[in-house]
A and B are shown apart, each in its own frame.
Chain A
C-alpha cells in the first residue's frame, strides 16, 4: 500500500485559514468515510484532531475541520494560531482492512 499524498509544507499568518490536502485512491480515501487527522509536535505523541472525515473529538478546537471529495480529504485550520505549528498526518482505512498514513505536512505559522 502506498502512502497517501500530502503537501510537504503549508504556511499561513496568524488569523488566516489554511487547508491541507490528502490524496489517495478509491481503495482507501475514496472508498470509506474513515479518514482521520493527527497533529504531531516533535517529541510528543501525535494527537487525534479529526476522525471519520469530519468529526472532532471532545476537547479539539472547532477551528479544525475536515472534509472529503472523491479520493481527496482535506483538513482546514481557521484562525491560525502559533500553537498550530506542527506536523499533520492524515490516515485512511483501506480495502485490505489495513490503515495507511499520509506523507505528512509541516505547518508553519509566519
Chain B
C-alpha cells in the first residue's frame, strides 16, 4: 500500500524567502508523484508532476520539485515566495501505471506568506 507524509501542516515564510514544503512517500513500485495547490474556496490545481525521466521537475508559478528515490522524497521548493503563493498544498502518489489512475494524498500543508 502506498502512503504520503507531508511534514508540517502549517508553514510560514516571509515574502521573498525560500519556500520548502516536504513530502515523503512509500510505494512498493516506482511511483508517479504530484503536487497540487488549493486556493481558498477552490478545487485542487495541478502544480507539477513526476512520471519518468528528469528527476527535477518544474511546474507553474515558479515552483519545482525533485524526486529523490533514495530518500523517498518529493519536496516542493520556490526560491522567492510571493503573497499570492498563500494556499494549501497537497502531495500525492500513484503507482505507475495503474488502472483507474488512483491517487493517495498527503494531509496537506498550509503555506502562509508574511509581508
- The answer to whether A and B belong to the same complex is no
Residue numbers of A with Cβ under 8 A of B are none
Partner-A contacts on B (CB < 8 A): none
